Amino acid sequence: MEFPRIFLAIDNCFASKRWTRPREWMEIVRDLGLAFVEASADTEADPLYCGEEYMRDWELDVAGSEKATGVKVVNLYSGHGTYATLGLGHTDLRVRRRILELWIKPMLGIAARLNAGFGFFCHAFPQSTLQDPGKYLSAVDDLYEQLSCVASFASEQGVIAVSVEQMYSPHQWPWTIAGAKDLIGCVYEKSGVPFYLTLDTGHQTGQGTFLRPDLATIKDWLKGPFGTKIESDVWMGPESVRRFLASKKASRESVPEEEIALLGREMDLYPFLFSRPEDGDTYAWIESLGCYSPIIHLQQVTGSTSAHLPFTDSFNKNGKIKPEEVLRSLMRAYMQPRMPAFPKRVSSIYLTLEIFAGTAEKPEHILNNIRESVIYWRHFIPCDGMRLDELQSART
């Protein structure tokens, strides 16, 4: 059984708009006790915002700062800039091409020259697509074609590994375990080269909102007090179902059993709008797909939002993310047989702290939170590069 080597890293998003030059954030990362960093496009490294000439200088600056600090940029990653657009899922082909040619490919070139991996999320589907099964299937197929181009180009450039991030709502694919498996398998089949998934320990906080209701739940809602809002109480998926039920609720009309059954068949046409209970379970994701995830973003979660909290004592008390369970779930992932028609399992995993800083948060407070988070995780990953089974043996 081949187990991966585990490294503790950090995304430099904490440095955005504060410590913006590579030498600055690399020195901070080194002083925090880390040797590996993921460079976010938000920290002044976005090709569309910064331009080609600047990015060439940034790349040279990174290479020089690596030598000076001993810190290695192991991955480049997208940030809020590309997350804020439909990107590769845009309804206009010109925008899709622009993102691919002017953002993704330049970033892949830089990643290759820095001997780093690359991860990203820069696509979404609008409501007009989600509410039309034909359009949706066509959009997903187009997305897979584009991602296969990304995988092929990354392979040609010599990028170590490329991965797309999993998300948590229907308009951001993949957001379910089944959907993520479909994406990895289809892109690998189309491109013939490995294409992976970035997992995030907080990106399971939305799926519970989109569970498919059974017919009994719909009946109970219809019998409930007038004025109850269907949007906040029950997720119905397609707008056609929601509008029909809302009109019946408003008129206080009874709905025959056969009409409710028809609504169920209508929802059958939109399986992509619904999640399953396991889709909201961080550890189910890791156990299912951790062995196909070269990057796992670490954030503490204390409620129903993905707030990218640090791993400090105050948050860990009620935190859902336990390092020992993350590692156990990874072990279970590698103990399972390899999935057919999937790429090879990853041999290195960067467990990457992705901790956001508040706009009005004091710099020293930001660094103290990260320092405490690093100390906390170092109890479980004392040395970078240890095999997963060695880490587990050391804990028992």
Q: Is the pLDDT reported for residue 304 higher than 70?
A: yes
Alpha-carbon Rg for the chain in angstroms:
22
pLDDT-derived band at 244, boundaries 50, 70, 90: confident
- What's the per-residue H, E or C state across 198-244? EEECCCCCCHHHHECCCHHHHHHHHHCCCCCCHHHHCCCCCHHHHHH
What whole-number distance in Å separates Cα of residue 396 and Cα of residue 386? 15
**Which residues fall within 8 angstroms of residue 271, CB to CB, at 6 or more apart?**
none
Provide mean pLDDT across the span 121-134. 98
The pLDDT assigned to 227 comes to 53
Provide mean pLDDT across the span 205-227. 84
The pLDDT assigned to 130 comes to 98
What whole-number distance in Å separates Cα of residue 241 and Cα of residue 257? 15
Tokens describing residue 291? 């062995």
pLDDT-derived band at 232, boundaries 50, 70, 90: low
The pLDDT assigned to 219 comes to 83
Q: How many CB atoms lie within 10 A of CB 138?
A: 12
Coil, helix or strand for 396?
coil
DSSP 293-311: -SEEEE-B--SSS---B--
Give me the half-sphere count of Cα atoms (radius 13 Å) on the Cβ side of residue 298: 28
User: Which one is predicted more confidently, 234 or 357?
Assistant: 357
CATH code, 5-208+277-395: 3.20.20.150
Q: What is the pLDDT of residues 63-110, one digit of tens each?
A: 999 999 999 999 999 999 999 999 999 999 999 999 999 999 999 999
Tokens describing residue 369? 């939170």
Contact between 39 and 47 under an 8 Å Cβ cutoff? The reply is: no
Q: Which amino acid is at 314?
A: S
DSSP 160-207: S-EEEE--SBTTBS--SHHHHHHHHHHHHHHHSS--EEEEETTTTSSG
**Which residues fall within 8 angstroms of residue 216, CB to CB, at 6 or more apart?**
none
| Chain Cα centroid distance, residue 277 | 18
Coil, helix or strand for 194?
coil
Q: Is the pLDDT reported for residue 226 higher than 60?
A: no
b or e along 252-261 (b: 16 or more beta carbons within 10 Å of the residue's beta carbon)?
eeebeeeeee
The pLDDT assigned to 265 comes to 93
Q: Is the pLDDT reported for residue 1 higher than 80?
A: no
The pLDDT assigned to 221 comes to 78
| Chain Cα centroid distance, residue 371 | 24
Q: Looking at 146-150, 230-234, 244-248, 329-333, which range is the least confident one?
A: 230-234
DSSP 308-354: -B---HHHHTT-S--HHHHHHHHHHHHHSPPPTT-PPPPSEEEEEE-
Strand partners, 196: 163
Domain ranges of the chain: 5-208+277-395, 212-272
Q: Taking every pair of C-alpha atoms in the chain, what is the biggest distance, in angstroms?
A: 74
The pLDDT assigned to 29 comes to 98
Q: What is the pLDDT of residues 275-302, one digit of tens each?
A: 999 999 999 999 999 999 999 999 999 9
What whole-number distance in Å separates Cα of residue 176 and Cα of residue 168? 7
Q: How does the average pLDDT of the chain come out, rounded?
A: 95
Q: What does pTM read for this prediction?
A: 0.96
User: Which one is predicted more confidently, 223 or 177?
Assistant: 177
What whole-number distance in Å separates Cα of residue 355 and Cα of residue 40? 12
Q: What is the pLDDT of residues 251-279, one digit of tens each?
A: 777 788 888 889 999 999 999 999 999 99
Q: Is the pLDDT reported for residue 311 higher than 80?
A: yes
Provide mean pLDDT across the span 9-25. 98
Q: Looking at 150-159, 237-246, 361-370, which range is the least confident one?
A: 237-246
CA torsion through residues 123, 126, 128, 134, sign: positive
The pLDDT assigned to 223 comes to 77
What whole-number distance in Å separates Cα of residue 7 and Cα of residue 347? 11
The pLDDT assigned to 228 comes to 56
Q: What is the pLDDT of residues 162-208, one digit of tens each?
A: 999 999 999 999 999 999 999 999 999 999 999 999 999 999 999 99
**Which residues fall within 8 angstroms of residue 84, CB to CB, at 6 or more apart?**
none
